Amino acid sequence: MWKFIVRRLLITFPQIVFLSVLVFIMAQLMPGDALTGLIDPTITQEALELQRERLGLNNPWYIQYADWVSGLVQGDLGQSYRFKTDVTAVISERLNNTVLLSVVALVFTYLIAIPLGLISGRYNDSPLDSAITGYTYLGFATPIFIFALVILWIFGYQLGWFPTSGSVAPGMQSGTMEYYLSKLNHSLLPGISIALISVVGTVQYLRSEIVDTKQKDFIITARAKGASENRVYNRHIFRNSVLPIAAFFGWEITSLITGTVFVERIFSYPGMGLLFLESIGQRDFSVVTALTLLFGIASILGALLSDIILGMVDPRIRIK
């Protein structure tokens, strides 16, 4: 197992390096540079050239890339002209909110997906299965931002059950129990909105696994030996069908990246997704570049985590 993990890590490292090169080149192709927004527009051309020389912006791209990577290793992601501070500090302020939202979305995803998948697979071709399958088709066809808008309008504005914006109620003192409960309450509605769309793939996959597993020979043998239907499902079908779902955990992290970007915007939830969209609109290139790199690394690590989990639950996946 350790050899398998080491091999995957060795594959992941070049992927991250290639991603960093791609992000850097794309940033170089964008209009403007690291001085955009940071300098006085009335500055003379001579003073501007001195600043460019001081920052190394006249160096060849590969030297600039090496300097950029050196800064990344030291935690220096550049300077945000919008916030007039380090990009690292800007992202750190939003990171906790996005992590909380992602955890809430993951928890609700599995709390909803596993029961629906089990019911749909056990009672396949029944009216209940048709209703669940219809919901998954609706989820596949509905963009997450439209779904989030409907959820916000119903449960936020019409029923008033949840806050409609922000990450904490005004006036809360940081570090208190009320503060953390308020943050959790503000993350519930956007988290559920993401989960209700994210479940569709897991439900369909689990249903297919159960339908396929209950037709296998060892299930027929268990029934022939007189095992009760509940025992057959709980001890044999469920156990063999739910293990591959663990491999979806890493891919769920990857799918959350796109989900949080749009949902945070709709709910005005101050996370990295909202920061990303605002930085694009404000042309804050340093923040956009850093977040693009972080989102890409999260996707790569999510795929790595999926492979490792799948290798743990299914030895056939491991490379000899």
User: Residue 135 has what pLDDT?
Assistant: 85
User: Residue 2 has what pLDDT?
Assistant: 65
Instruction: For residues 217-225, give the mean pLDDT.
Output: 75
d(CA 180, CA 73): 32
Task: Kindly tell me the number of DSSP H helices and DSSP E strands found in the chain.
Answer: 13, 2
Three-state secondary structure call for residue 282: helix
Four-CA torsion 30, 16, 191, 289, nearest 10 degrees: -20
pLDDT at 33 over 60: no
Q: Are strands 79-80 and 85-86 parallel, antiparallel or unpaired?
A: antiparallel
Length of the chain: 320
pLDDT at 104 over 60: yes
| pTM attached to this predicted model | 0.74
pLDDT at 208 over 60: yes
pLDDT at 44 over 70: no
Q: Which of 26-30, 116-120, 218-222, 283-287 has the lowest mean pLDDT?
A: 26-30
What is the C-alpha radius of gyration for the chain, rounded to an integer number of angstroms?
Answer: 24
d(CA 276, CA 211): 42
How far is Cα of residue 47 from the mean position of the Cα atoms in its chain? 43
% residues pLDDT > 70 (the chain): 77
User: Residue 70 has what pLDDT?
Assistant: 78
User: Residue 54 has what pLDDT?
Assistant: 61
pLDDT at 191 over 80: yes
What mean pLDDT, rounded, does the chain reach? 76
